[in-house]
């Protein structure tokens, strides 16, 4: 088997390394940073607060289990997680509070009690979401969409034939507004567009199958936090002989005669028969393959949203909060227009607060909490982020303090901020976009970059900027598709 290089130790790069090692390749992972994880790294703030820096919501944990099973390991011995219940604590602008329970009937009953929407409408909506998910997932997520073989398969043809009957026409928002009259419930379901950095007023209705992931299959919390997904897989990779080179960025992918021949890093040149880039596909072409023609149409697809994140050590424990908390804006349309049309941050943003110390008690001192406070923002296009960080910080503090009836600012004991510039700098994601290109049009799934190069043999792509898309589960699936293709 040919030696393989993986460029980047993001979650997709790590998973690809494991899968290639299991196929018998000698695998070397080159990572520019001093550690693994990419967006999924962790850090501490003075005073004893630990934070997962990036992803916080975890669905489809079986995709991690699958990797351990493939390696002949019992997943439970290496990676444990619990199903969340409740999943999310919602705070609406009109003062309504609602818990999203894991059990569909209980969630629907809560919606009926708090919002007055008949429970049966919610159950029926979620079961349609489940149906759409099962009809399409194998086709759109588990295989390359860019190989003819994918389309000559009975399951896939069945799925494609079923699409028109799923009622998934128009935008996600239109679908939700048709299903429900209550604007708060429409807002709740529209929010799922942000799970891949998209705009519910533009994203196709097909994305309204995302709620099924959380409400049908479940939302989960890994023991020790999200970082343990990356850590457990790196441990497995090392056991399998994968070699990790940290602080060693790849500077060029070497080619000759229409195929890859190796990589040149900051330290050395390595001969390789297979190169998998886990670097965002835009800088992969611009920086590592400067002499190759780039697929400009693909690289020019609109980016997904980015984020402003305030990490706060909070000297108080709030009983009314859980692991995931959402404080909604008053006008969702205005908020998304600000992000995707005006390319700025709404003055009344929806605020997401993730508190892992609710689950991992050691993540904050007793009586304190570690708040990861996130606002969706556009990707970096030269905005004045320093001004936006200040303006948004005040808006966030006002909203959260008003909802909780407690002034939050005096409780902040430690603080750090991550913005789109910093996300780009730390992970090389183009513009600091969280999920590669957005899904703001019906063809987005087909316009993502394939998991292989059409021009260079031996060159493959994994991670959030290529097929099937961003977010932990899809990154893990990209690793599976790459290993299958290699
Ligand atoms: P990345 O994490 O982007 O890592 C790429 C790695 O490659 C980096 O370590 C980088 O240093 C390295 N690299 C780049 N260039 C080179 C080079 N030339 N040489 C060597 N190394 C290089 N997803 C969810 O599922 N749920 C969530 O709740 C969620 N929330 C998020 C919140 C935030 C704030 C962020 C930032 C992301 C969030 N995501 C979420 C998205 C998720 O984190 C990403 O989709 C996923 O982690 C991306 O993984 P990746 O494998 O594509 O690589």
CATH number of domain containing 155: 3.90.660
Mean predicted lDDT score pLDDT of the chain: 94
Q: For ligand 1, say whether the CB of 322 is within 6 Å of any of its atoms.
A: no
Instruction: Quote the radius of gyration of the chain (alpha carbons, Å).
Output: 22
Q: For ligand 1, say whether the CB of 470 is within 6 Å of any of its atoms.
A: yes
Q: Is 369 helix (H, G, I), strand (E, B) or coil?
A: strand
442 in a domain, yes or no? no
Pocket test for ligand 1, best of 64, 237, 278, 449 (most atoms within 8 A of CB): 278
Torsional sign, CA 340, 58, 140, 104: negative
Separation of 186 CA from ligand 1 center, angstroms? 30
Calpha distance 485→149 (Å, rounded)? 12
373 in a domain, yes or no? yes
User: Residue 268: pLDDT above 80?
Assistant: yes
DSSP string, 110-163: HHHHHH---HHHHHHHHHHHHHHHHHHHHHHHSS-TTSGGGGSSHHHHHHHHHG
- At 165 the pLDDT is 65
pLDDT digits (tens, 9 = 90+) for 339-355: 999 999 999 999 999 99
Separation of 38 CA from ligand 1 center, angstroms? 5
Residue 359 region, left (φ>0) first, then alpha (ψ -120 to 50), else beta?
alpha
Pairing of strands 259-265, 369-377: unpaired
Domain count, the chain: 1
Atom of ligand 1 nearest to the CA of 57: 28
88: number of CA atoms within 13 Å, CB side?
A: 23
- Mention every residue, 6+ apart, whose C-beta is less than 8 A from residue 71: 18, 22, 236, 240
Q: For ligand 1, say whether the CB of 52 is within 6 Å of any of its atoms.
A: no
Nearest CA to ligand 1 atom 31: 55
Q: For ligand 1, say whether the CB of 399 is within 6 Å of any of its atoms.
A: no
- At 161 the pLDDT is 65
Atom of ligand 1 nearest to the CA of 38: 9
Q: For ligand 1, say whether the CB of 29 is within 6 Å of any of its atoms.
A: no
Q: For ligand 1, say whether the CB of 471 is within 6 Å of any of its atoms.
A: yes
Name residue 437's beta-bridge partners: 303
What tokens appear for 131 in the block?
Answer: 């149906």
Cis ω before 468 (30° cut-off from 0): yes
Calpha distance 461→453 (Å, rounded)? 8
Nearest CA to ligand 1 atom 29: 55
- At 191 the pLDDT is 97
pLDDT digits (tens, 9 = 90+) for 3-12: 999 999 999 9
Separation of 8 CA from ligand 1 center, angstroms? 9
391 in a domain, yes or no? yes
Mean predicted confidence (pLDDT) in 212-228: 95
Separation of 35 CA from ligand 1 center, angstroms? 13
- The secondary structure of the chain in percent helix, strand, coil, rounded to multiples of 5, reads 40, 20, 35
- At 163 the pLDDT is 65
Q: Which of 450, 443, 482, 445 has its CA nearest to residue 466?
A: 450
User: In the structure, what pLDDT confidence band is assigned to residue 157 with cuts at 50, 70 and 90?
Assistant: low
Q: For the whole model, what pTM was predicted?
A: 0.96
Name residue 429's beta-bridge partners: none
Separation of 275 CA from ligand 1 center, angstroms? 18
User: Residue 365: pLDDT above 80?
Assistant: yes
- At 167 the pLDDT is 66
User: In the structure, what pLDDT confidence band is assigned to residue 139 with cuts at 50, 70 and 90?
Assistant: low
189 in a domain, yes or no? yes
- At 208 the pLDDT is 83
* DSSP label of 358: G
Q: For ligand 1, say whether the CB of 41 is within 6 Å of any of its atoms.
A: no
Q: For ligand 1, say whether the CB of 249 is within 6 Å of any of its atoms.
A: yes
94 in a domain, yes or no? yes
Q: What is the 3-state secondary structure (H, E, C) of 25-91?
A: CCEEEECCCCCCECCCCEEEECCCEEEECCCCCEECCHHHHHHHHHCCCCHHHHCCEEECCCCEEEE
Share of the chain above pLDDT 70, in %: 94
Separation of 11 CA from ligand 1 center, angstroms? 7
257 in a domain, yes or no? no
Pocket test for ligand 1, best of 43, 54, 438, 448 (most atoms within 8 A of CB): 54
- At 87 the pLDDT is 98
Separation of 381 CA from ligand 1 center, angstroms? 19
ipTM metric: 0.99
Buried b (16+ CB within 10 A) or exposed e, 326-346: bbbbeebeebbebbbeeebbb
- At 153 the pLDDT is 65
Calpha distance 299→466 (Å, rounded)? 10
More confident residue, 77 or 156: 77
344 in a domain, yes or no? yes
Nearest CA to ligand 1 atom 22: 8
Least confident of 43-52, 258-267, 300-309, 432-441: 432-441
Mean predicted confidence (pLDDT) in 335-340: 98
More confident residue, 312 or 148: 312
Separation of 13 CA from ligand 1 center, angstroms? 10
Nearest CA to ligand 1 atom 42: 471
What tokens appear for 129 in the block?
Answer: 């979401």
Its domain, for residue 363, covers 83-223+303-426
Q: For ligand 1, say whether the CB of 10 is within 6 Å of any of its atoms.
A: yes
64 in a domain, yes or no? no
Calpha distance 216→130 (Å, rounded)? 7
Q: Cβ distance 424 to 380 under 8 Å?
A: yes
Which residue matches tokens 């809560």?
Answer: 110
Pairing of strands 219-222, 81-83: antiparallel
């Amino acid at each position: 088997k040919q030696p393989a290089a993986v460029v980047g130790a993001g979650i997709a790069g790590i998973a690809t390394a494991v899968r290639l090692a299991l196929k018998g390749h000698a695998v070397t992972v080159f990572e520019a940073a001093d550690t693994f994880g990419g967006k999924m790294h962790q850090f501490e703030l003075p005073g004893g607060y630990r934070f997962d820096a990036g992803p916080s919501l975890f669905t489809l944990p079986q995709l991690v289990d699958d990797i351990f099973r493939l390696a002949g390991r019992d997943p439970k011995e290496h990676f444990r997680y619990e199903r969340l219940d409740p999943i999310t604590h919602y705070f609406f602008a009109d003062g309504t509070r609602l818990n999203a329970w894991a059990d569909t009937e209980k969630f629907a009953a809560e919606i009926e009690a708090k919002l007055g929407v008949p429970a049966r409408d919610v159950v029926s909506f979620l079961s349609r979401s489940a149906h759409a998910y099962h009809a399409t997932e194998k086709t759109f997520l588990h295989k390359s969409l860019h190989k003819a073989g994918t389309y000559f398969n009975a399951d896939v043809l069945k799925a494609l034939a079923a699409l028109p009957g799923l009622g998934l026409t128009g935008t996600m928002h239109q679908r939700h507004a048709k299903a429900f009259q209550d604007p708060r419930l429409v807002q709740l379901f529209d929010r799922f567009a942000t799970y891949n950095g998209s705009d519910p007023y533009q994203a196709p209705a097909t994305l309204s199958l995302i709620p099924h992931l959380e409400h049908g299959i479940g939302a989960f919390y890994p023991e020790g936090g999200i970082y343990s997904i990356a850590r457990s897989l790196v441990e497995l990779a090392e056991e399998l002989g994968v070699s990790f080179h940290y602080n060693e960025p790849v500077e060029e992918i070497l080619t000759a005669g229409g195929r890859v021949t190796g990589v040149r890093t900051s330290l050395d040149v390595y001969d390789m028969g297979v190169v998998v880039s886990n670097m965002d596909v835009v800088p992969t072409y611009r920086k590592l393959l400067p002499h190759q023609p780039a697929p400009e149409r693909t690289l020019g697809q609109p980016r997904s949203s980015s984020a402003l994140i305030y990490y706060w050590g909070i000297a108080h424990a709030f009983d009314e909060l859980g692991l995931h908390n959402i404080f909604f804006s008053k006008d969702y349309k205005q908020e998304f227009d600000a992000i995707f049309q005006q390319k700025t941050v709404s003055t009344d943003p929806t605020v997401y607060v993730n508190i892992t110390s609710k689950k991992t008690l050691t993540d904050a001192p007793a009586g304190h909490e570690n708040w990861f406070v996130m606002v969706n923002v556009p990707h970096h296009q030269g905005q004045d982020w320093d001004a936006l960080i200040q303006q948004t910080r005040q808006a966030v503090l006002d909203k959260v303090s008003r909802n909780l009836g407690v002034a939050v600012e005096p409780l902040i004991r430690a603080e750090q901020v991550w913005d789109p510039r910093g996300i780009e700098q730390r992970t090389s994601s183009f513009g600091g976009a969280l999920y590669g290109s957005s899904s703001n049009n019906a063809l987005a799934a087909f316009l993502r970059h394939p998991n292989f190069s059409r021009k260079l043999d031996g060159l493959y792509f994994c991670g959030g900027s290529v097929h099937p898309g961003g977010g932990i589960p899809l990154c893990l699936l990209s690793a599976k598709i790459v290993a299958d293709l290699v």
